Each structure stands twice: as structure tokens, then as C-alpha cells.
Structure 1
């Protein structure tokens, strides 16, 4: 499998299937840049309706800093298979166990980074077993459920999925506004054709289950704070999904390193990839 996404991976990276004890997952695997001393490996988890391509603009800069990065499509997400109708396959504990298997397949211990929904799945994985991880970075991912306005958008999306085809829902979602505002595809990466293809690649049951998780996630910050790992809370300067002051407070509760990327919103990996990658690599260097 060379480039399943129809978007060439970053120069030097390889798109392939990562084989794990819990199945195969589509990944973009970027090795450390030639001539650079390796400093570690990181697993990157995308957000709701997102995909591994959301990290495309960061992977090269991170490779230059000595980090191999493996960006993953989760179960039932874009090019990773999963059941179309069985929502139980996408309950958070199941997705968390997938992450543990991915870490082992990549070569634990690894740095773990999750964007938006991916951050909450990453948190669940760390709470199940922190040993495969060297650190946890929560990118634009808050302590509990998403904001009321975003819950309303997700509910509308789920109601639409119940009565419309995936293609019709995509058209309706475009009329609602930028999909990244509910943690969806990052602006511009791959262009509208790829964004539509990866939406159509999502399994409906996965969207139902993960959309529900976003709207009902409890606050587990106190549990996470008891885990002996270095934490990093990174966000843009503006975020409608979890207000920035809420992320500031979460960082204090976790005794976490805090980064605010100026000029970025819910997807700093797309809005300002270079300063975002720099901040992440600086944290990994210290961790």
C-alpha cells in the first residue's frame, strides 16, 4: 500500500497499513530526517471527522528535529476499516485499546499527541495504561464535553446522518460552516476533493459513537493528573470547541506545559504548523 489517500505523503514519508494485534490501521509514517540524530517516536491521533493528513504540515519539521511521527486513521476513520453499523466497536475504551496496540506496533515507548477528539481518546489510553508513553500532548482538546454551541452542531450532524446519505450530509455540512469547527477536517490540507473523500470514508457508526462521546465526555482531569507522565496542553489563541480559558485551567490542574499558538484557532496544526511543530518538539526534547 503506497499512497492510499490519493494525496502524496510528505517528502520522505510512507503511507501504509500498520499491523497491530487489534487490526490494521492506515498511517503516514515519517522517519527522522537524514543526518539528524533520532530523538524519539510519536503517535499522532486526529480529531472528529479528521484524518492522519491533518498532521501533514507538521511531520517534516518534526522529522528535522529528530522525531519519527506516525499519524493514524483511527478505527472506522477514513482509510482504516471498521464496522459500518456497530457503534459498540467505537466506544471510547475500544478506541483507547486500539491506541495501546498502535503504540506497541510502532515501538513503545512513544510520545502521544491527540487533536480534539483524538486528545480525549489519547487520555483514555493513558488512563488504561501509561507505560507505552513518554508524554501526552493534548492539542485543542478540553477537559470534558464540547461547548454547547458545538454540541448543537454535532447533534444536527448526527440527526442528519440518521436520515440522509453520507454524500448528502457532506453537502449539508458545508452549508453549516467550516467542518473543523467541530474538530473536523483541517482547513485546506488536501483540498476539497480529499476532504470530501475522507468524509465518505468514515463509517457512520463511528461518527455516531464519537459524536456522542464529544457531547457527554466527563471531566477526567484529576484522574489524569495522577498519572506519572509529562503533559502538554497546546491550543490556538481562539477556540470555539473548548474556550481557551478552560484549556488554561486544565493545564494548571495537570501541572502541564502550556502553549498558545498565536494566529491559530481549533487546528493549529493547519493554521500555524511551523510554530506548532516547534513548540511540540521543544516539549518532547524536555520530556
Structure 2
């Protein structure tokens, strides 16, 4: 069974100067004034489908949303074993190619690991972007407990097939940052198919990045664009007080979504979409 895009959304390969990337592209709702375009980057072990429940409410608010599978994620091709292809700067350059193909300027949103890739893209060149939203994505490496889980996953990927690792993940019942599905996005067969479609080198490389990412908040704060830090009320990957502090350092708009954990986009999609659209609407008179 395949993931089904939301009504009016279209799933297709986006052609860019750096290859094709699988996207789900949802237009502005009929009769609604267009306000902008949003490019959304999923997190570690995730895919564009993680944003499924955001497309319709954001469309109704006037935003075209384009959710992207990054290189080696689910529907986008990439090397099986060459981790150098997934260096963070390479992934950041992919983001620029994706935005060029979609049509700049865009609001950029990154969830978890996708937020750190979005940050790297912003630091390369902020000119194609109108704003950056970091969703459940912290200032540096992930928490010690999550680092241990990611290291276990990377070790397993070195000696086991993707199918065998998936079986182990299901037996362990890990959190979503290490492969456990976000609530409300796909059934077991769909999630297994997504896992098997992801390249092991992509997981090993981005897992290493999550465990070693330096704090680049000061660099990002120097970028002359509006920032939004959004999270749930609890998060095992980056503690919420750490996200609060990052928002202060970035002079960012801050949203905490009640009842959500590491994936507000899946846990509480309607309040999350409302907070996102409210932030973007508030920038209408202060475009840079």
C-alpha cells in the first residue's frame, strides 16, 4: 500500500540542478489568497509523509506547501554505501537546488535533523528564504540517551540488512527519532516500506551528524531573517528548556504546542499548522 497524498496535493519527482527529489506539493486552497510557499524538510528516519496532516490546514490559510524527501530518504535516490554523499553541506546544497526548482523565496521549515540541515542551508546563503522554522530541532547534538540509541542503530546498519534492522527496531520499541513511527502517519506496512526505501548510508551519515553537531546558534542569529522555534511540551531528543534558550539566543518567535512531543506535526497537526501560519502571516508587513 502506498501513502496517499492529501486531497488536491500532488506527489511527483521534482527536477533540480542536483537531481530529482520526491515531493508532495499542495497548492493554496481554491478561493484563498496566496500568501507564500513553504518547503518542509523531514527528520532522521522520516520522510515527506511526516507533514501529511499539515498540508490541508496550511493550504486553507493561503500557503502552498512542498514536503521533500532529501537525498537517500524514501522516494529520493542516493548512494547505498557512500556516506560522503550525505555530508551536511551536500544536503544543504540540495535544499538550495530544491528551492530554486520550487521558486524562491520560500519559508523554510525543518523538523528535527531536517532543522539542522535547514540551518546549514540558511548559513550557506539566506537570500532564497523568507524565514526559518526549527520544529523540535535543537542547537547542537542530541541528548545523551538519544545518542546511545542512534549509535546502536548505526552499529546495526553496519552489519545487518535494512529488513533485519527494522525487525530489531520494532522489537525494541524505540522513540521516533530512531525509527519509531510518528503517531498518525501511515500504517505498519507503509512505514516498513518507507524504512526499506531509505538508504543505509544516509542513516549512518545523518545519525553521526546528530551525535556530533556543533552549536551554530550564534552564526544563525547573525542572519537577518525571522526565526521560529516550535516544539511540543516534552522532547527526549532536545530538552524543551534547551529549545527555549535557543529561541532567546535567536530572538525567535517561540511556540510550545500543548499535547505534542517530538513530532507536533503528527501529534497535534491543527494547532501546529495554526501556529505556523500565524507566524508567517505576522511577517507580511516586515518582509526583508
Provide TM-score, normalisation by structure 1: 0.97
Q: Distance in 2 between matches of 1:179 and 1:72?
A: 22
Structure 1 residue 11: Cα displacement: 0.3
- Confirm or deny that 1:219 pairs with 2:212: no
Structure 1 residue 185 displacement after superposition = 3.7
The answer to whether the aligner puts 1:121 opposite 2:117 as a matched pair is: yes
Work out whether 1:60 is the aligned partner of 2:60.
no
Using the alignment, how far apart are the partners of 1:146 and 1:206 within structure 2? 17
Shift of 1:7: 1.6
Kept in 2: contact 1:51–1:185 (CA 8 A): no
Work out the CA distance in 2 between the residues paired with 1:31 and 1:129: 26
**Structure 1 segment 186-265 matched on structure 2, within 5 A:** 186-265=182-261
Q: CA deviation at 1:94?
A: 0.1
Distance 2:94 2:180 in 1: 20
**Alignment match, 1:23:** 19
Provide Cα deviations, 1:87-144, integer angstroms capped at 9, x if missing partner. Answer: 1100000000000110111000000000000000000000000000000000000000
Q: 1:264 to 1:66 in 2, by over 3 A?
A: same
Q: Residue 65 of structure 2 aligns to a residue in which SS?
A: strand
Q: Secondary structure at the match of 1:155?
A: helix
| 1:179 CA displacement | 4.2
TM-score with structure 2 length normalisation? 0.97
Question: Is residue 29 of structure 2 the alignment partner of residue 33 of structure 1?
Answer: yes
Aligned to 2:6: 10
Matched, 1:276 2:251: no
Residue 77 (structure 1) aligned with residue 73 (structure 2): yes
Shift of residue 184 of structure 1? 5.8
Q: Is contact 1:182-1:241 (8 Å) kept?
A: no
Deviations 1:207-240 (A, max 9, x none): 1100000000000000000000100000000000
**Are 1:48 and 2:44 counterparts?**
yes
8 Å CA contact retained: 1:117, 1:183: no
The gaps in structure 1 that reach 5 residues or longer are none
Secondary structure, counterpart of 2:259 in structure 1: coil
Structure 2 unaligned runs (5+)?
284-288
- Report the count of equivalent residues: 283
Give the whole-Å Cα distance in 1 for the aligned partners of 2:6 and 2:12.
13
Mapped pair 1:99 → 2:105: no
Offset at residue 6 of structure 1 (A): 1.3
